[in-house]
Structure 1
Amino acid sequence: MTTTLSALVIDQKAINILDRAFIEDAWLQKFEVPQNADGLRRVESKDIVYLLSRNADICDSYLIIDTGVFAPATGLAKPRTAFERVLRVALRHFDRNIAIPVQWQPYHAGSRLSIFAQSIRDTQQRIYFDQSPDGTNNLYAFAVTSNPEDLDGVSEDRALYRRAVEGICDALLADPPASPPVGNFGVLLSEPLVRLASAGTLQEWYDKRLNREQRTFVDQSHDRPVRLRGAAGTGKTQSMVVKCLRDLYAETDGDKTFAFLTHSSALAHTIVRGMLHALDPTERWTFLKTPSGQPKLWIGTVYELAQEKLGYEKKGLKPLSLDGSDGREYQRMLIKQAIDQVVQDPRIVLDIFPGCPDFQKRLEHCEEDASLVDELMNEFACVLDLEAIKKDTHEANRYARGSREPWQMVLPSEAHRRVVLEIHDVYRALLRTEKMLSMDQMIADFDGYLDTHEWGALRERDGFDLVFVDEYHYFTRAEAMLLHNLFKTRAQIGGRWPLLMAYDIKQSTSDIAISGGMEKFRNPGVGESVLTELKQVYRSTPQITAFLRDLDAAFPAMDLEGEYATYVVDSQQEDGETPTLIVYETDIKLVDSVFEQAARMAREIDGGGSQVAVLCLNEELFGKIRVAGRVREKFVPITSREDFKELRYAKKKCVFSMPEFVAGLQFHTVFLIHVNSADYDEEQSQGSRRRYVSRIYLGASRAACNIVLASSKELGGPCQLLDVPLANETLRRVS
């Protein structure tokens, strides 16, 4: 007779092993594990399963899960996703230098915590935890509800928890289980999803694998800010991780604390942590603490740091993240609602629209103008929200009457800009109604908090001595200008703070990187920085590098004070295929053919579908293709950078995404689809053209071995920025 399992108990070290594992939904029925190099073993006692690491100890803290959370009755659409989120909360519980993503909307009440069980586009289900059951440091995941509920009102089976804990000692003393039979266990215990370019310990990397420029950066002292600039694939993140770990271990006996900040939670907790594990599989860096008990390394996003300090989850506020398609779709919906209100407002129609009849017509037909909402989103993020400009203020008058940069939205008259201010005002009101706030508003609040007496009193305890910022080109000027307040005051030397920034402006698909000028790169309030530039590409073949060099020539000429450097790099890889362009008669033929090629390649190459990506350059078409029944079974969608872990489930399916959602990843082959002239026109504004070229550059630079570009004659055929690569034969057109 099969025993119905009631609880699962996992020790702290085993949580790290499972966090790297490939898990299928079926595994959550019996939790069986194969023989593995990680030393994970399974002990079953009556109706409770214990998953224990090689060095598990009775004094350790444990994760206890009521397995009813994963029972069919709860109706979880993706049980393994919920389990992975439980593991992430456990990692956070036992290691305070790990953060819970803002998008999961964690909510606290006393010792209880709840998070969304999976993407809120799929469900409103939430998982509930007790962070101090019976006053211990254990973590108990005890329930799931179909909709958010008051934390204190959700019932908790405390008797089950106590039975599970009482059995830990016997489980630790139990004889090793017999070798499990060969078969499919529904779990594959694996190394981290993302690794360094080549194997090697931290010392081996420092001694043998860093090139001269990377070594120069790693050897920089902590007495000044340093910026690390380099094209995609030059090893910026690798260099940052090597320096972080090397400097951290050099300070083992001291009380210095480090922060490794990124713009993406997945980059921080999947890629950066994966690289750290590759350099030191013992993960000693996770256990280092100062004499006062503070973690010596904090890894996460500036938003997670802000939420940790401001406690929005306790106030019922929900940050609106724009890093994924869900948040951007929601913002589009709010902007369209704002436009509808503005075009029907008699005051605006009579007083402002007569000064810009062309703009009035464009707004009234916004459903037929796909680029309008995108341009407004960029104007909000890079100008209005960034500068905290509100209607009927001095700053609003200056915005309406002042000069504009060439990259900004084309708004030729004061009337045009007044209308945009009205749309923005309604948009902000809609956010307030939904108890939501934009990430820019969160940063503005965080900046204010860092000027409070409270932070002044906590700064020497909770601040940092060294701050690393990866993908700095995604940081707004407001985010950059608050970084100096994160340091302990003792970190300042001669008016300079040790901030280390890695970036490539051309990978930014919005104007955030260039809005506000170049001062945020040279001196974001931390003192004049020293530049190290990387010029050797380790990701891509010489053929892809040559194509990127020609594509670089298509970027609009922009005076960015030396920061918009020409792409001059050399590939360190062997020769490969020349990138190809295929032009299809119709959109349907393009989609069918590309996904057929990608699926075939996913079945044939090492690494499977996780090494083959189809990246769409048009966001509207991406949304349509993602739900198209004809190809939906051929791909795993990545709709946010928080979906990185989905890559391990690609198997014989390819990855389908947009370039900005896979920034930081690399693939064997990339298909860039809908490189159409309908989306790129030399008559467009400088900003629109730059953002489109950046999207192609970012997508193409994800490829290590092969690039296939595809366009449709229905949408004008290939865009003209491909003319130079075709003429220089760094891009080959095939039938």
Structure 2
Amino acid sequence: MTLSVLVIDEDAVGILDAALIEDAWFSDFNVPANAVGLRRVEIGSVVYLLSKKADLESGLLVVQIGESGVFASVTKPRSAFERIVRVALRQFNRSISLPIQWQPYHEGSLLSVYAEPISRKNQHRIYFDQAPAGSGNVFAFGVTDGPQVLRQVPMDIASYEAAVAGLLDALTIDQPTQDPVGNFGILLSAPLGAQLSGSGSLEEWYERKLSEEQLKFVDQPNDRPIRLRGAAGTGKTQAMAIKCLKDLYADADAGGDKTVAFLTHSSALAHEVVRGMFYALDPSARWAQLQTATGRPKLWIGTLYELAQEQLSYEKKGLQPLSLDGRDGRELQRMLIQDAVEVVRKSPRTALGMLSECQDMATRIQDGNARANLIEDLMNEFACVLDAENVRKGTAEADRYVRGAREAWQMALPTELHRKIVLEIHDSYRDALRKERLLSMDQMIADFGRYLSTHEWNQLRDRDGFDLIFVDEYHYFTRVEAMTLQNLFASRAEHSGRWPLFMAYDLKQSTNDAALGGRLERFRNPGVGESVPVELKQVFRSTPQIASFLRDLDASFPAMDLEGEFDTYAGQSSKTDGDVPSLITFDTGVELIDAILDQAGIIARSIPGGGSQVAVLCMNEELFDLYRSAGRTQGKFVSVTSREDLRELRYARSRCVFSMPEYVAGLQFDTVFLVHVDQTDLSDEYLSQGARRRYVSRAYLGASRAARKLVIACCVERGGRSVILESPLRNESLIETTA
């Protein structure tokens, strides 16, 4: 009999969320006999996947399958299933949010999201009822090729009711298990964050595994802001996760009603890595089940963007935030800025006026070879200065922007005329956003900040605000984002003018200048009182040899007055010795990528964890896009082009990971090939000190992902090795080898 409905209880949903699933699984939904905590029962055309905890009171995910079901027409069934699971997790745990990129749309209890990463060919949307027949279950009932009115999509409620009615029989039937031998298209595994966290319960970490530095942070009282600073690999996120759970449980055990927020700058980092760490520390997932007396989850995990989206309900207003957390979002922003530059270049008013009087800016705009660096500088200027400071042409803020002093890290705009031209480009860019009904992330946060100062939020603050807030990757937060944090606290969280905000950061990992806008006082006093510093210096990720390379690379950072927050790298590795990082020089880029991908494939086939432990990270964005789409490279890697792609790492097998450093921040790999560390990218005469810092930060971030083996690659046709490698070569923390 053809299967028509799939029923999964809420605990089984959590198990399947961490599973490795192939497209073949969607024909029969089989699980092997040795699947821990999961069994399959088939009754008529309904298949039940049930956990050991399943009972008649369990929440249920019900999915319409078969020839007319949700997997029948989608291009990537696995991607669609992962999104269905995420919607179900949110149904059963309100602290989970849906990524902005999925473009969720609500109408009453109905919900729709994109079934897979959207493209011109793939625009399928999945439809859910989050209260079918008045229940607390979730029913995935349909799929369409493109958006439709939710209430016009057919729903077979009779099949849902019949499937739910059969749950009692499914719980009592003891069907023969599947043969444990064979390919079932599914492999149950630990979440990504659990793999990064390593073994050990919360108690074991606290009692024996934390370093003295980490323990000092975890034991800090919750009556003040704390800033946790440390180099890459010093265990900042691990310490934050342990303190978060420890403080959460201490309050719950004492009968308290405190709520906690754990914020990151990336949705995937929050939901794949941080949640995985929590599962590793406490597999019972008590942290996901704790609620206040009013039924609100005591722990909320996600991004500031997701929190803003919840409060402002953009999807109900027909507005779409522009995601910059990924290659697609950056490419869309790049295209809009390029169009804005063209408008300014062709407009008689600006072409015959400002540009005719500012020759070097006119040259940058008209020179195709200089255009890429110009767009990169403008993207950074818009995000970290103009949008972050709410600067608009014709306002008092714009006048201060034009006439005010500039920091060394900012885009080189030496005269008032240069800055007026940038304001013209920015104004055209904002016009394009309005026409497309898009909001930049900075505009969204600016709106959120204003909402948090309204009388409405003042009334809701003690109900919806938080008592403790943890912020990981604080170096990616702009000044405007940082300023919103104080107003997220419930008023009861204040202790003599100080608020319990816990920040983890490493300025040298920041590949944009978000952290530098508005000076660095916000690290010491982020609007919530003077913070207490805790420094981590012991490196747990990398070998002493890689740590030595990072120390020497540190010398390449431009000398910048960053108020004591840009200290010399001081990481000391606690791991055993490994190979000295090596440098390979190729004649051409084609030779480089062919040889490196071959080497990466050989290593991927020989080490535990396979390709998910081998990363090829490209320093140049244009070359990354070129190689990613080239026919000669297909089938050799799993491409990670946004943090949302992190789940794909589980499917790497013998293929390596191909990405850019910023998209794998927070992760670690056994082996890293950092490619195209070329001098050409530093040779632009208009390159600002800030652009040089961002370049070194990208190299530092990429190299610090390596735990055991690090290989640097450059090519002669792009100027040979970058000057930032000279100090490591001199000190022999980097050695030259041949391919």
> TM exceeds 0.5?
yes
CA offsets per residue over residues 95-137 of structure 1, 9 Å max, x none? 0111111111111111111111111236221111001111110
Structure 2 residue runs of 5 or longer lacking an equivalent are none
8 Å contact from structure 2 (residues 65, 71) kept in 1: no
Partner of 1:29: 27
8 Å contact from structure 1 (residues 356, 413) kept in 2: no
Partner of 2:150: 151
Q: What secondary structure, in the 3-state scheme, does the structure 2 residue paired with 1:123 have? A: coil
Give 2:702's aligned amino acid.
Answer: G
Give 2:150's aligned amino acid.
Answer: L
Partner of 2:726: 723
How far residue 178 of structure 1 moved from its aligned partner, in angstroms, is 2.9
Q: Which residue, 450, 467, 484 being the options, matches 2:452?
A: 450
After superposition, where does 1:612-691 map in structure 2 within 5 Å? 612-681=614-683, 684-691=687-694
8 Å contact from structure 1 (residues 74, 146) kept in 2: no
Query: How many pairs align?
Result: 733
How far residue 364 of structure 1 moved from its aligned partner, in angstroms, is 2.0
8 Å contact from structure 2 (residues 616, 658) kept in 1: yes
Mapped partners of 1:13, 1:461: distance in 2: 28
CA offsets per residue over residues 295-317 of structure 1, 9 Å max, x none? 11000000000000000010111
Give 1:93's aligned amino acid.
Answer: Q
After superposition, where does 1:21-60 map in structure 2 within 5 Å? 21-36=19-34, 38-60=36-58
How far residue 176 of structure 1 moved from its aligned partner, in angstroms, is 4.4
After superposition, where does 1:58-457 map in structure 2 within 5 Å? 58-68=56-66, 74-121=72-119, 123-195=122-194, 196-252=196-252, 253-366=255-368, 369-457=371-459
Q: Which residue, 458, 465, 468 being the options, matches 2:467?
A: 465
- Range moving further from structure 2, 272-281 or 351-360: 351-360
How far residue 181 of structure 1 moved from its aligned partner, in angstroms, is 4.3
Compared CA separation, residues 70 and 509, structure 1 to 2 (3 A): farther
Give me the TM-score of the superposition, normalised by structure 1.
Answer: 0.98
CA offsets per residue over residues 544-589 of structure 1, 9 Å max, x none? 0000000001000111111101101210000000000000011110
How far residue 180 of structure 1 moved from its aligned partner, in angstroms, is 2.4
1:706 equivalent in alignment to 2:705? no
Mapped partners of 1:566, 1:689: distance in 2: 17
Give 2:613's aligned amino acid.
Answer: Q
How far residue 274 of structure 1 moved from its aligned partner, in angstroms, is 0.7
RMSD of the alignment, in Å? 1.3
Give 1:433's aligned amino acid.
Answer: K
8 Å contact from structure 1 (residues 678, 715) kept in 2: yes
8 Å contact from structure 1 (residues 69, 142) kept in 2: no
8 Å contact from structure 1 (residues 223, 497) kept in 2: yes
Compared CA separation, residues 249 and 73, structure 1 to 2 (3 A): closer
Compared CA separation, residues 197 and 161, structure 1 to 2 (3 A): closer
Mapped partners of 2:421, 2:353: distance in 1: 10
How far residue 39 of structure 1 moved from its aligned partner, in angstroms, is 1.4
- Range moving further from structure 2, 418-427 or 540-549: 418-427
Give 2:728's aligned amino acid.
Answer: P
Mapped partners of 1:74, 1:39: distance in 2: 28
Give me the TM-score of the superposition, normalised by structure 2.
Answer: 0.98
After superposition, where does 1:535-546 map in structure 2 within 5 Å? 535-546=537-548
Mapped partners of 2:201, 2:265: distance in 1: 27
Compared CA separation, residues 16 and 69, structure 1 to 2 (3 A): farther
Q: What secondary structure, in the 3-state scheme, does the structure 2 residue paired with 1:708 have? A: strand
- Range moving further from structure 2, 116-125 or 341-350: 116-125
8 Å contact from structure 1 (residues 100, 106) kept in 2: yes
Mapped partners of 2:6, 2:520: distance in 1: 53
Q: What secondary structure, in the 3-state scheme, does the structure 1 residue paired with 2:280 have? A: helix
CA offsets per residue over residues 435-460 of structure 1, 9 Å max, x none? 10000011011111111121111111
How far residue 398 of structure 1 moved from its aligned partner, in angstroms, is 1.3
Mapped partners of 1:323, 1:462: distance in 2: 26
8 Å contact from structure 1 (residues 267, 664) kept in 2: yes
Q: What secondary structure, in the 3-state scheme, does the structure 2 residue paired with 1:424 have? A: helix
Partner of 1:596: 598
How far residue 703 of structure 1 moved from its aligned partner, in angstroms, is 0.3
CA offsets per residue over residues 247-278 of structure 1, 9 Å max, x none? 11101121001000000111111111111111
Mapped partners of 2:444, 2:133: distance in 1: 35
Compared CA separation, residues 104 and 624, structure 1 to 2 (3 A): same
How far residue 72 of structure 1 moved from its aligned partner, in angstroms, is 9.3
Mapped partners of 2:27, 2:175: distance in 1: 22
How far residue 344 of structure 1 moved from its aligned partner, in angstroms, is 1.1
Q: What secondary structure, in the 3-state scheme, does the structure 1 residue paired with 2:514 have? A: coil
Mapped partners of 2:531, 2:275: distance in 1: 27
Q: What secondary structure, in the 3-state scheme, does the structure 2 residue paired with 1:633 have? A: coil
Mapped partners of 2:318, 2:67: distance in 1: 24
Give 1:63's aligned amino acid.
Answer: L
Mapped partners of 1:351, 1:663: distance in 2: 44
Quick one: percent identity of the two aligned structures? 61
Mapped partners of 2:350, 2:508: distance in 1: 38
8 Å contact from structure 1 (residues 69, 144) kept in 2: no
Structure 1 residue runs of 5 or longer lacking an equivalent are none
